[in-house]
Amino acid sequence: MSSSNRKAKAAETVAAQQQLAAELGVNVRTVQRDRKAGMPRQRRGETIPAWAARVRAWREASRQRPGPKTRTPSDAEAAAMVRYRLAKAELAEIELARVRGDLHSRQQCDDARVRQCAEISGALRMLPDTLARKLYQAPSPDAIKLVVQEELRRALAVLTDDEPTTEADSGPAAAAS
């Protein structure tokens, strides 16, 4: 192919691309990009409108690429997703409690813990005197054991939600004294 034939063919190609761009309503640069992407070439003797129809169909088909393939998550990924959703739900519950005013500040919790410790400390400090009075008349080692257990339970009752027992409620320990 001679140099003049190549120039003539290139000029025809540029003219055809310009006509196709006008027919499609796009820029010539878009036609050039589509050509590199595999756009159908003009057939010998094919009119611009016929070629434009084939190019429109090709462009539509190339736009309808399948999306990303969905994959099944592994067991570890599924477990992580469950933990994430649970944590998210718990945070939502905490936020709801905060909005309702059901949450206590850290300072309030610390103050309550200090009060509990003071109550326990006081009850444990009084334990020797209380035990001395009750153990003075204890008839057996088993009775001593029951009295000590009951008094420790009473002194540490602050740590539980249960009401502390009174001496009238103490049952076997009261009978042993």
Domain around 32: 3-62
Q: Say if residue 58 is in the same domain as residue 108.
A: no
Q: Does residue 70 lie within any of the structural domains?
A: no
Domain count, the chain: 2
Q: According to the model, what pLDDT value does residue 138 have? A: 80
Q: Does residue 76 lie within any of the structural domains?
A: no
Q: Say if residue 58 is in the same domain as residue 114.
A: no
Q: According to the model, what pLDDT value does residue 169 have? A: 46
Q: Does residue 168 lie within any of the structural domains?
A: yes
Residue range 10-52, pLDDT digits in tens: 767 888 889 999 999 999 999 999 999 889 998 888 899 999 9
pLDDT-derived band at 89 (thresholds 50, 70, 90) equals very high
Q: Does residue 94 lie within any of the structural domains?
A: no
Task: Tell me: pLDDT of 5 over 80.
Answer: no
Q: Say if residue 51 is in the same domain as residue 108.
A: no
State the average pLDDT for the chain. Answer: 83
Tokens of 100: 């309702």
Residue range 122-145, pLDDT digits in tens: 888 888 888 888 888 788 889 888
pLDDT-derived band at 68 (thresholds 50, 70, 90) equals low
Q: Does residue 152 lie within any of the structural domains?
A: yes
Q: Cα–Cα distance between 29 and 52 in angstroms, integer?
A: 16
Q: CB of 52 within 8 A of CB of 19?
A: no
Q: Does residue 78 lie within any of the structural domains?
A: no
Q: Say if residue 55 is in the same domain as residue 110.
A: no
Q: Cα–Cα distance between 69 and 62 in angstroms, integer?
A: 17
State how far the alpha carbon of 127 is from the alpha carbons of 15, 74, 133, 160, in Å.
107, 59, 10, 19
Within the chain, what is the greatest distance between any pair of CA atoms?
Answer: 130
Q: Does residue 24 lie within any of the structural domains?
A: yes
Q: Say if residue 112 is in the same domain as residue 171.
A: yes
Q: Does residue 11 lie within any of the structural domains?
A: yes
